[in-house]
Amino acid sequence: MSVEHRLAELGIKLPDMADGSYAGHDYGRMKPHHIVGNVLFLSGHVPTRNGEILHPGRVGGAVTAEQGYEAARQTGINMIAGMKHALGDLGRVKGMIRCLCFVACEPDFTDVHKVSSGASDVLVEVFGEAAGTGGRATIGVQSLCDAMCFETWSEVEIR
């Protein structure tokens, strides 16, 4: 089954990053991706949907762990859109190499790994267990741009 078919089956509609909607452009000089050999490097992706920040604030405070998970899931969807923008064809994705996740959270919130699972879970749902699972680290931080509660950057093996 193609990745595009799987997305349709899951009811996931990807944002079109080709229209300039990559959120990183709002935060300084950077490009959304870079390819070296068979590795696609994705710059930071965040939980935006239709130009709006999903669940701004800190997890463990104004944002619940469940909302943080949902924000991470939206970030995963945005990452897939970034892959499509970079590669043209999601069939070129061979597998996730790794993700570094940042969760803006209150100092006593320690379930940052559970928040990051929102992104990891959607990658597995779309690409399957073998290709969708990569290495991952999650760091709790004091703040992210524009009160985002989640951000990740990643490396993807490509064909």
Contacts of 123 (CB under 8 A, 6+ apart): 76, 79, 80, 96, 132, 133, 134
Domains and CATH numbers, the chain: 3-158 (3.30.1330.40)
Per-residue pLDDT band for 18 (boundaries 50, 70, 90) equals confident
Euclidean distance between CA atoms 16 and 73, whole angstroms: 17
What φ, ψ does residue 130 adopt, rounded to 5°? -65, -50
pLDDT digits (tens, 9 = 90+) for 69-127: 999 999 999 999 999 999 999 999 999 999 999 999 999 999 999 999 999 999 999 99
Which position has the token pair 């992210």?
144
